[in-house]
Structure 1
Amino acid sequence: MTARQYVVIGGGIIGSSTAYYISKHSQFNPDSDKITIVESTAIASAASGKSGGFLAEDWHGPDTEGLAELSYSLHKQLSDEYDGVNNWEYRPVNALSLMGQVGPKKGKVDDAKKKGAHWLSDKVVDKCSVLGTPPSTAQVTPEPLVQTLAELSKADVVIASAEQVNRDNDGNIFSVRAQTKEGNSVEIPATDVVLAAGPWTGRLAQKLLSPAEARKCSVTGQRAHSIIVRPSQGKTLTDHCLFTMVKERTTTHEPEIYCRPQGTAYICGASDTVPLPEDASKVVPSKSAIADLKSQSALISDYFDSSMSVEKEQACYLPISASHSPIVGKVSDGVFIGAGHAVWGITLGVGTGKVLSEIMIDGKASSCDVGSLKP
Structure 2
Amino acid sequence: MEDFIKYTSSHSGKHEGKQHIIIVGAGIVGVCIAYYITRHPSFDPDQHYVTIIESKRVAGGASGKAGGLLALWAFPQQIVPLSFQLHSELAEEYSGEDLWDYRRLTTVSLEGDIQKSLKDTEEDEDDDYDDEEGEEDEEEEEGVLEDDEDEEEFQEAEYFHDDENNSYSDDAMSRSSKESICDNRSTNTDLSSHNGELEHHHINEHRTQSAISPQSTGSATSSVEEKATKKKRRTVSKNSIMQNEHDASNGVKLPTDLNWIKQSAIQDWSMLGGEDTTAQVHPYKFTNFILKKAIESGSVELIIGKVNEIIFSETTGEAEGVSYIPSTAQDEQSGNTEPIELLADQVVLSVGPWTSKILPDCPISGLRAHSITVLPENGVMVSPYAIFTELKISKSGFVSPEVYARKDEVYVCGEGDTAVDVPETTDDVQVVKEKCDRLFHFVGKLSPNLRKGRILKRQACYLPVLDVPSSSGPLIGETNVPRLYLASGHSCWGINNAPGTGKVMAELLLDGEASSADISALDPSLYFDASVWGE
TM-score, normalised via structure 1 length? 0.91
What is the CA–CA distance in structure 1 between the aligned matches of 2:49 and 2:379, rounded to whole Å? 50
Is structure 2 residue 347 aligned with structure 1 residue 193?
A: yes
Among 346, 351, 359, the residue aligned to 1:205: 359
Q: Residue deviations 1:228-282, cap 9 Å, x none?
A: 01012164300100000011223211000000012x1000013111211111000
Give the match for residue 35 of structure 2.
20
Q: Calculate the aligned-residue CA RMSD, in Å.
A: 1.9
Q: Is the contact made by 1:97 and 1:131 (CA closer than 8 Å) also made in structure 2?
A: yes
SS of match in other structure, 1:225:
strand
What is the CA–CA distance in structure 1 between the aligned matches of 2:379 and 2:32, rounded to whole Å? 38
Tell me which amino acid in the other structure corresponds to 1:52.
G
SS of match in other structure, 1:49:
coil
Give the match for residue 124 of structure 1.
265
Among 245, 248, 259, the residue aligned to 2:405: 259
Range moving further from structure 2, 319-328 or 135-144: 319-328
User: How far off is 1:82 after superposition?
Assistant: 1.1
Runs of 4+ in 1 over 4 A off after TM superposition: 103-112
Q: Residue deviations 1:259-314, cap 9 Å, x none?
A: 0012x100001311121111100012112211220111111101121x31211000
Q: Is the contact made by 1:203 and 1:220 (CA closer than 8 Å) also made in structure 2?
A: no
Among 382, 389, 395, the residue aligned to 1:237: 382
Among 453, 456, 460, the residue aligned to 1:308: 453
Task: Label 1:178 to 1:59 Cα distance change in 2 as closer, same or farther (>3 A).
Answer: closer
Is structure 2 residue 443 aligned with structure 1 residue 271?
A: no
Give the match for residue 96 of structure 2.
84
Among 469, 473, 479, the residue aligned to 1:325: 473
Q: After the TM superposition, which residues 216-227 of structure 1 pair with which residues of structure 2 at under 5 Å, given as runs? A: 217-227=362-372
Range moving further from structure 2, 253-262 or 182-191: 182-191
SS of match in other structure, 1:44:
coil
What is the CA–CA distance in structure 2 between the aligned matches of 1:368 and 1:7, rounded to whole Å? 23
Q: After the TM superposition, which residues 108-187 of structure 1 pair with which residues of structure 2 at under 5 Å, given as runs? A: 112-114=253-255, 116-154=257-295, 155-168=300-313, 169-181=315-327, 182=332, 183-187=337-341
Q: Is the contact made by 2:414 and 2:439 (CA closer than 8 Å) also made in structure 1?
A: yes
Tell me which amino acid in the other structure corresponds to 1:40.
S
User: How far off is 1:134 after superposition?
Assistant: 1.1
Give the structure with the larger strand fraction: 1
User: How far off is 1:104 after superposition?
Assistant: 6.4
Q: After the TM superposition, which residues 13-92 of structure 1 pair with which residues of structure 2 at under 5 Å, given as runs? A: 13-60=28-75, 64-92=76-104
Is structure 2 residue 368 aligned with structure 1 residue 228?
A: no
What is the CA–CA distance in structure 2 between the aligned matches of 1:167 and 1:49, rounded to whole Å? 32
TM-score, normalised via structure 2 length? 0.65
What is the CA–CA distance in structure 2 between the aligned matches of 1:234 and 1:268, rounded to whole Å? 20
What is the CA–CA distance in structure 2 between the aligned matches of 1:276 and 1:167, rounded to whole Å? 25
User: How far off is 1:31 after superposition?
Assistant: 1.8
Q: After the TM superposition, which residues 349-368 of structure 1 pair with which residues of structure 2 at under 5 Å, given as runs? A: 349-368=498-517
Give the match for residue 443 of structure 2.
297
Q: Is the contact made by 2:307 and 2:323 (CA closer than 8 Å) also made in structure 1?
A: yes
Task: Label 1:234 to 1:53 Cα distance change in 2 as closer, same or farther (>3 A).
Answer: closer
Task: Label 1:58 to 1:115 Cα distance change in 2 as closer, same or farther (>3 A).
Answer: farther
SS of match in other structure, 1:233:
helix
Among 18, 22, 25, the residue aligned to 1:10: 25
Task: Label 1:173 to 1:340 Cα distance change in 2 as closer, same or farther (>3 A).
Answer: closer
Q: Which runs of 5+ in 2 are unaligned?
A: 1-16, 118-246, 525-535
* Structure with the greater alpha carbon radius of gyration: 2
What is the CA–CA distance in structure 1 between the aligned matches of 2:439 and 2:478, rounded to whole Å? 40
Q: Residue deviations 1:143-176, cap 9 Å, x none?
A: 0111111111122111111123324434444432
Q: Is the contact made by 1:5 and 1:190 (CA closer than 8 Å) also made in structure 2?
A: yes
Range moving further from structure 2, 44-53 or 217-226: 217-226
User: How far off is 1:24 after superposition?
Assistant: 1.0
SS of match in other structure, 1:66:
coil
Q: Is the contact made by 1:172 and 1:191 (CA closer than 8 Å) also made in structure 2?
A: no
Tell me which amino acid in the other structure corresponds to 1:120.
I
